[in-house]
């Protein structure tokens, strides 16, 4: 059974992504973070709604792990000079958003690593 902190983190990340995606459909900036419709639908709404699906079926740890990996991968692309221009023109992502993605990804993976269910490591109850 996943820990409550992992469940809450899954719901917080999913909710933030859906809210940010909904706002991003109608604006090009959410505070200091730039966005566009492709970013709003593909990265925010899509991933956020998938996260709610994972939560619905009790797979919060898997979503936290996968979204953490995805955020770190996207942040890495945002820091590489070769892909920075493409990310900005396609998804309207700048360096600040890459930092935001990196921090959220590291937090997600740290939570997953410390709080994930460890069924294989637990001893079965005595007969």
**Mind listing the pLDDT tens digit for each residue in 89-123?**
888 888 999 999 999 999 999 999 998 877 544 55
For the chain, how many structural domains are there in total? 1
pTM of the model: 0.84
* Amino acid 124: pLDDT: 52
The Cα-based distances of 68 to 35, 63, 73, 102, 112 in angstroms read: 20, 8, 9, 9, 9
The residue range of the domain holding 57 is 4-114
pLDDT tens per residue, range 6-45: 999 999 999 999 999 999 888 888 888 888 888 889 889 9
The helix or strand, by DSSP H or E, that contains position 91, with its residue range, turns out to be helix 81-91
Give domain status of residue 120, yes or no: no
Give domain status of residue 39, yes or no: yes
- Give the span between the Cα atoms of 82 and 13, in whole angstroms: 28
* Amino acid 63: pLDDT: 95
Question: Is the per-residue pLDDT at 5 higher than 60?
Answer: yes
Give domain status of residue 98, yes or no: yes
* Amino acid 68: pLDDT: 96
* Amino acid 27: pLDDT: 87
């Amino acid at each position: 059974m996943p820990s409550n902190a992992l469940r809450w983190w899954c719901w917080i990340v999913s909710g933030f992504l859906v809210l940010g995606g909904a706002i991003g459909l109608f604006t090009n900036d959410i505070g200091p973070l730039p966005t566009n419709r492709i970013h709003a639908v593909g990265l925010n709404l899509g991933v956020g709604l998938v996260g709610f699906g994972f939560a619905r079926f009790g797979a919060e740890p898997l979503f936290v792990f996968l979204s953490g990996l995805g955020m770190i991968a996207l942040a890495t692309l945002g820091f590489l000079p070769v892909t920075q221009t493409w990310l900005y023109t396609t998804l309207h992502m700048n360096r600040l958003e890459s930092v935001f993605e990196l921090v959220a990804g590291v937090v997600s993976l740290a939570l997953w690593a410390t709080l994930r269910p460890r069924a294989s490591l637990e001893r079965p109850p005595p007969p």
